[in-house]
Amino acid sequence: VGVIEHMENWPQQLPWAFHMNLPAVLLPPLPTNSAEELAEYAQQLQLLSQEAVKEAGYSFQLWVPLSMTAAAMEAWQFVASMANANNVGLLLQFETSPTTLDPLLYVSQQLHTLHNAIGCGPVMAVSIATNQFLTNKRGYPTLSKAQQWIAEYIMQRVGRTVRWLLQGTAAPTTTVAVLPHLQYLQHIRQRPSVTSLLDTRAGQDEADYLDALQKPLQPLGDHLGYATYEVFEKDPVKYQQYQAASRLALADLKDLASCKVLVVGAGRGPLVTGVLLAYQSLPVNERPDALQVVAVEKNPTAVLYLQSKLQQDPLWQGSSVVTIVQADLRSLAQEHTESADLVVSELLGSFGCNELSPECLDALLERCKPETISIPSNYTSHIAPVSSRHIHGKIVDQQAFYPDQGRAVGRQMAVETPYVVRTHAASQLYAEQECWSFAHPSPHNPTRFVSLEFGSDAGGGLASGAGYGAVDDKCASLPTAPDQPVVLTGLLGTFTTVLYKTVFLSTAPKHFSSGMYSWFPLYFPLNEPVHVPAGARVRTHVWRKTDQRRVWYEWSVAVRKGTDLLSTTAIHNSGGRSYHVALS
């Protein structure tokens, strides 16, 4: 890492960093005297950033050093929005614990600031001075309890992507002198609270997906590939819950002697297997050998797989009768629909209703008996404002991509498309709220509109972390810290679903189904980052709209404080101009 000591020297020093093939340069600290100086810093940073992208692309990084204080974060929010640069990250500098503040309150403040910084970052590195270490009884360096908590939190949140820098001042500056300090940090890294998040199989598998943008599925247009099915079938939670729900539903059927189950969108058959296992697990006297399972699938290659499965899998060849039908579930033959007692489907997307589950199941279930049970029974979309300058930058960069039509995406389309993303360098700003629900069987008006207000929520945002994974109870239990100004870059969509009665799945942090990895959140971008001062309230407007051919979302955000309207975005994706899900 190179160092530029004075901002105005970058035109001389940056070429040297390129020449030396350095991966990053550390910039001087933000000025503290006046808004004018911050503006001048931002002006130089913007030029520097443009030059760096031109000469070295996005892999080269500019690091702005920032102390972990609310005031520093506020100054950075101003500079970052003025400079509007994608290749700038933060080097956070560990603060010395104050002796005058209640340690828990101090931890709460620092964690809020960190949460804020992760959104306004990305945080590329953390530096800690050797003289911030204490010495334990055996003479080894150690951190105070509060500092330990903070270091552990950083590792949990961004440990996979952050570098640690030890800055020695008192001790001799050889590597050996800081070795005990490094070992101590390594010791924190090995705590179960950290390894259980980062070093599990799931944690390792998702490493490639962190902050990666994925276009959401076109469920009726795309045919899934074999490998995709395989990955999702390994989810340790999802199919187990489907099986549990199926068991409850089967047990509730009046006449199991002649019952028929439709598995719609059967894919490679995991839900067929689940239904069969559920049936087998019922007490013997409750299962006359007469279960009919119809596996409905439109993807012809998946149908081939289902047919071979039927020939080879002993479970499928048991006493029940499995039938395979290649069809769009909306036009399934009357013979199957009119006699169905239970319909099992997995048409849910990252935002619940975004892969057309409502439309498809309504079309099917209105042709079934009124008492036909649907698994899932209902699902609810959730939304939360989220801060991620990192993801925002990636989305803005999408504008220059050329998809198959041969012309650039353009900014409007780039920022009006929701992306499936495993949020990482991101901070959910408030506890998520419910948007709307769909329940089956009962036909719907498929359009929805919701206006939700998010205000200071006493740590609900902090405890939600990056917006993917379960709420962090340790964070939730911290004392309330003063509200900080934040920068909003998008809305994060998740969902909860009741598969049947008490069997539940959730990607929303509040009730996250731990271990499940089948769905990442859906990120709705905002065209520009939106500033939210302390004490202000965010109002989101989200629409689910349809016409005869399409389903799409529109969204907008307004910020108010007291009666003042501070800002409002335009409505994104008006009329589905940039993104929709096709109904055919």
- Enumerate binding residues for a copy of itself (CB under 8 A): 35-36, 39-40, 42-43, 46-47, 50, 74, 77-78, 81-84, 411, 449, 451, 485, 527-528, 530-531, 533-536, 539, 541, 543, 554, 556, 558-559, 561, 564-571, 574-575, 577
Q: Give 333 or 534: the residue with its C-beta nearer to a copy of itself.
A: 534
DSSP for 361-372, written as a single string: HHHHHTTS-TT-
Given the structure tokens 């509040």, which residue do they identify? 510
Q: Please report which helix (H) or strand (E) contains residue 358, including its range.
A: helix 357-365
Instruction: Verify whether residue 346 is a known catalytic residue.
Output: yes
Active-site residue, from 74, 95, 297, 346: 346
Q: Which residues pair with 167 in a beta bridge?
A: 129
CA 47 to centroid of chain Cα atoms: 32
Cα 360 from Cα 356, distance rounded (Å):
6
Nearest distance, CB of residue 429 and a copy of itself, angstroms: 16
State how far the alpha carbon of 298 is from the alpha carbons of 267, 316, 517, in Å: 9, 20, 25
Q: Give 8 or 289: the residue with its C-beta nearer to a copy of itself.
A: 8
62: Cα within 13 Å, side-chain hemisphere: 29
- The neighbour count for residue 436, using CB atoms within 10 Å, is 18
Given the structure tokens 């050093």, which residue do they identify? 65
Q: Give 7 or 143: the residue with its C-beta nearer to a copy of itself.
A: 7
Nearest distance, CB of residue 464 and a copy of itself, angstroms: 24
Contacts of 546 (CB under 8 A, 6+ apart): 359, 446, 447, 552, 583
Nearest distance, CB of residue 109 and a copy of itself, angstroms: 18
Contacts of 508 (CB under 8 A, 6+ apart): 382, 432, 494, 495, 496
Q: What are the φ/ψ torsions at residue 420 (nearest 5 degrees)?
A: -80, 125
DSSP for 139-193, written as a single string: S-EE--HHHHHHHHHHHHHHTTT-EEEEE-SSS--SHHHHHHHHHHHHHHHTSHH
Nearest distance, CB of residue 564 and a copy of itself, angstroms: 4
Q: Give 233 or 483: the residue with its C-beta nearer to a copy of itself.
A: 483
**Structure tokens belonging to residue 278:** 């559920």
How big is the CA angle at 267 (ends 261 and 272), to the nearest 5 degrees? 35
Report yes or no: 242 and 499 within 8 Å, Cβ to Cβ: yes
Nearest distance, CB of residue 380 and a copy of itself, angstroms: 19
Q: Give 326 or 568: the residue with its C-beta nearer to a copy of itself.
A: 568
Q: Which residues pair with 373 in a beta bridge?
A: 342
Q: Does the CA dihedral 328-334-335-340 come out positive or negative?
A: positive
Q: Give 326 or 567: the residue with its C-beta nearer to a copy of itself.
A: 567
Instruction: Verify whether residue 355 is a known catalytic residue.
Output: yes
Cα 272 from Cα 261, distance rounded (Å):
9
- The neighbour count for residue 474, using CB atoms within 10 Å, is 15
- The neighbour count for residue 264, using CB atoms within 10 Å, is 27
Nearest distance, CB of residue 301 and a copy of itself, angstroms: 40
Nearest distance, CB of residue 385 and a copy of itself, angstroms: 16
DSSP for 210-233, written as a single string: BT--BPPP-TTTPPPPHHHHHHHH
Active-site residue, from 74, 152, 297, 355: 355
Nearest distance, CB of residue 486 and a copy of itself, angstroms: 11
Q: Give 43 or 326: the residue with its C-beta nearer to a copy of itself.
A: 43
CA neighbor of 119 nearest in space, from 462, 455, 411: 462
Nearest distance, CB of residue 38 and a copy of itself, angstroms: 10
Q: Give 18 or 543: the residue with its C-beta nearer to a copy of itself.
A: 543
Report yes or no: 451 and 541 within 8 Å, Cβ to Cβ: yes
Q: Give 82 or 224: the residue with its C-beta nearer to a copy of itself.
A: 82
Q: Looking at the annotation, which residues are catalytic?
A: 346, 355
